[in-house]
Amino acid sequence: MALNLVKGIIFLSPTVLGILGNVTVFVNYVLLLGGTEMKSVQLILIHLAFTNIIILFAKGIPKTISAFGQGLFLHDTGCKIVVYLERVARGLSICTSSLLTVTQAVTMSPTDSMWRRLKLKSPRHMLSIFILFWILNSLISMNLPLSIISINSVNISQITKGDKYCYFLPEGWIIRWTFLLLMVLRDAVFLGIMGGSSGYLVFLLCRHHQRVLHLQSSKFLYKTPPEIRAAQSVLFLMLCFLVFYWADCAFSMSFSSSLNIDSVVLNIQEYVSLGYAMLSPFVLIHRDEQGQQNPQELFY
């Protein structure tokens, strides 16, 4: 009971803080939409916060309940909904984070750059992109509702991990590899886009840094433009995303090649998979506070 209490608190505290942080970011940028000109990055951050909230509710809360030793709290329908939403939201997080880097790269690019051709005529067109993301990730995860049941429906001898609350039924190898290939392809495409956009942002920041050194040597008074702070914030967010993403992948690959998985290591992997959703809102909140309490000054 003491061990379950410790595990439950370890999952509960950051999950609740993550939910509160993402709700704060969501409400903050929604309120900005009503009082100022709509900007693409504001819509992206609203969607990213909403995606993080889904992840934390669909995975963080059930995992917390399970960690407290209450594993039999979901029936088949609940398991299907929770696991499906978490998988769809995970894909949406990758797509939205990639879109954020592209949008920031387009915003910072010179007027004669080819990146400017990617700029949307209206931020409202961003909603169409979000709909496409939802359709794409919903289709990629459509096999899950057919292969997920509650552990209440499984013989206890078949369950090897005490903290699990849902059970994956065996799938045919064609279905399993088809959907796995689609997931890998999606991740590779959007991670590639994210990498290219982040690299371009780094190039622009390095060029800006050279100009700053020149101005400082000329004894000019210089103040960092808000778009530069915005780019730095986006790059830090993407760094956090990549760290948690590849750490999660490393754990998953090690589990697939191991027959005996330590429960502590398994809990660490579950924690890492929630890391970006927990941390990202506080990165945004911190940057907003440094931007004189004006989020618009930071994200262009």
CA-angle at 121, arms to 187 and 124, nearest 5°: 70
Which of 93, 118, 122, 131 is CA-nearest to residue 276?
93
What are the structural domain ranges in the chain? 1-147+166-220+259-293
- Collect all residues with Cβ–Cβ distance below 8 Å to 13 and sequence separation of at least 6: none
Provide the CATH number for the domain formed by 1-147+166-220+259-293 in this structure.
1.20.1070.10
pLDDT in tens, 138-175: 999 999 888 888 877 776 555 544 457 788 888 888 98
pTM of the complete model? 0.87
Integer Cα distance of 40 and 110 in angstroms: 18
* DSSP class of 162: T
Question: Would you list the DSSP string of 97-138?
Answer: HHHHHHHHHHHHS-TTSGGGGG--S-GGGHHHHHHHHHHHHH
The pLDDT profile of the chain, 300 residues, written as one tens digit per residue, is 677 788 888 888 889 999 999 999 999 989 887 766 678 888 999 999 999 999 999 999 988 888 887 766 788 888 899 999 999 999 999 999 999 999 888 888 777 777 777 777 777 788 999 999 999 999 999 998 888 888 777 765 555 444 577 888 888 889 889 999 999 999 999 999 999 999 988 888 887 666 655 555 554 544 556 667 777 788 888 999 999 999 999 888 887 766 666 777 888 888 899 999 999 999 888 877 665 444 444 444
